[in-house]
Structure 1
C-alpha cells in the first residue's frame, strides 16, 4: 500500500489499486472517490482514461494511524472493509464510520481491538476547533439538537454507531459531522442547472436558529461562526483544503 506523503506537489504517481498512472487534477465539481467510495470535490488524483479518482487521503495512506478522540487506539489501513461488524450491536452487521456514521464501502482505517472504523478523510477531523473565540469539541453524545437536522441522533444512524458531533463550549452550536456533508450534497443537487463551475452553497438557505437566548443577541456573530465552521469541516470531508471561501459561502437565513 502507498505510504503517507506530506508533499502535495506530486503531480503523477501510480497506485496499487489502478493499472494506470494517476495525475493530480483540480476540477471544481464533485466526484465519487474510487478508494473510499465517498464524495469529493476539487482536487483529486485522476485517470482520465478510466474515469478513476482518488482523494489525496486515499492516494497517500498510512499503514497505521491514530486519532485523538480514540485515545491509545491504533488504526490500520485496509483497502476494503475487514469483514462484518460482529462485536457491536448494530442493525445490519455492516461496518460504519464512527465519525460520520456512513457505511464503509472501500478504503478504511480500522481499530481491531475496539472495532472502530474511520473513512480516510474523516480521520482528519480535529478533536478541537477554535473559531472566533468559540471552542468546538468532538463528541459522540449530544445533549442538544443539531442546528441543521433538529435531532440529537444522527439521521439514518444505526444502532451502536452514534456518529460524531461538534459541540461548542457555550452549547450554542451543535452540528453532526454527517449533516455537514448532507448540506453540501443537497446544495449541489439543488443548484441552478446552468451552474457547473462552483459548489453552489451560496444558494442554500438554512433555517437556523440559535440554541439559546444568549446567542440570539449576537446573531451576526452566530452566523459568521457557523459559516466558518461549515467551511472548515466540509473541506476536510471533501478532501480538498484549497476549496475557496467563495465556493463554500453559505447564505444563512435565520
Structure 2
C-alpha cells in the first residue's frame, strides 16, 4: 500500500527493496536496500526521511531539542553559511534535524546512531573528539569535513580502537556498487591487517577481531544508509556463522 509524502504529493510512494544504491530526494544522502519509491518519477526516500519526527533529541547532546526542517536553516546560500552534520561531518543539503539553541545539525539517518554500541565483548562509545587515527582510513580527520565539524568516532572502552562512522558508509557503498558486497568486505578489511597484528598475538584472536570489525562496519553502514533491517540481518548472519 502506497503513502503520500508532502515532498512528493503527486504520487504515492511504495516500500521497495533493491540491491543497488540510490540518492534520497529528502536528505540528498546515499542509501541502499529498502526505500520508499515512486517508479514514475524515480523518487526515493529513506525510511527516516519518509517518517520524520517533528522534534527529537539525542543522548549525545544533553538538553537538546532538534526540530525537523525540509531545508537547512540559514541566512543565505553562500559557502560560508553552509551547514554540516555534526555526526558525519558532511554538508547538509536537504532534510535535517536542527537544534536552534546550539546550532547543531543531524542528517535524519545519522540521528539514529547509538551513543553506545557493543560488538561481541567490545564496548564502543560515540565520541566527538578526535583522539587518535581511525583504524580504517588511518587518519584523524575525515576528508570532506570542515574545521569544527570533524564528524563522530566510535572509540572502544580500551581506547585502542577508533572508527569514523562515515568510513563505514563509504566502504559499504563501494562494495555494494561493485555487486560483490560480502566479498568486498573481506578484501577491504585487509587494510586493517597491520593494526590487527599489533592488537592480536595469534591467528585465532586475529580472526575474532576481523569478525568484530566486519559486524561493526555493517551495523553502522546499515544505520547511516537508511536500512536498519540490514543491521539485524548482518548481526544474525555473523553470529550464527560463528
TM tier, smaller: 0.7 to 0.9
> Aligned pair in 2 of structure 1 residues 152, 219: CA closer, same or farther (>3 Å)?
same
Counterpart position of 2:220:
233
Partners of 2:71 and 2:58 in 1: how far apart?
20
1:33 paired with 2:24, answer yes
Specify every segment of 5 or more residues in structure 1 that has no aligned partner in the other structure, as ranges. Answer: 1-10, 86-90, 250-254
Matched positions, count: 227
Please state whether the residue corresponding to 2:149 is helix, strand or coil. Answer: coil
Secondary structure of the equivalent of 1:57? Answer: helix
More helix by percentage:
2
Q: Which residue of 1 aligns with 2:5?
A: 15
Q: CA deviation at 1:230?
A: 0.7
Q: SS where residue 195 of structure 2 aligns?
A: coil
Q: How does 1:1-254 map to 2 (within 5 A)?
A: 11-18=1-8, 19-83=10-74, 92-189=80-177, 191=178, 195=179, 200-203=181-184, 204-206=187-189, 207-208=191-192, 209-210=194-195, 213-217=198-202, 218-243=205-230, 244-245=233-234
Deviation of 1:216 (Å): 4.5
**Displacement of 1:211:** 6.7
Is the 2:130–2:153 Cα contact (8 Å) retained in structure 1?
Answer: yes
C-alpha deviation, 1:213, in angstroms: 3.7
The CA deviation string for residues 32-83 of structure 1, in whole angstroms up to 9 with x for no partner, is 0000000111111110000000000000001100000001110000001111
Q: CA RMSD in A?
A: 2.2
Report the Cα offset of residue 160 of structure 1: 1.3
Q: TM-score, normalised by structure 1?
A: 0.83
How far, CA to CA, are the matches of 1:201 and 1:212 in structure 2?
23
| SS of alignment partner, residue 187 of structure 1 | helix
Following the alignment from structure 2 to structure 1, what is the Cα–Cα distance between the partners of residues 15 and 176? 23
2:94 aligns to what SS in structure 1?
coil
Cα distance in 2 for residues equivalent to 1:125 and 1:118: 10
Give the Cα separation in 2 of the matches to 1:170 and 1:211: 15
Structure 1 contact 55–239 (Cα < 8 Å) conserved: yes
Question: C-alpha distance in 2, partners of 1:24/1:84?
Answer: 36
TM-aligned CA deviation for residue 180 of structure 1: 1.2
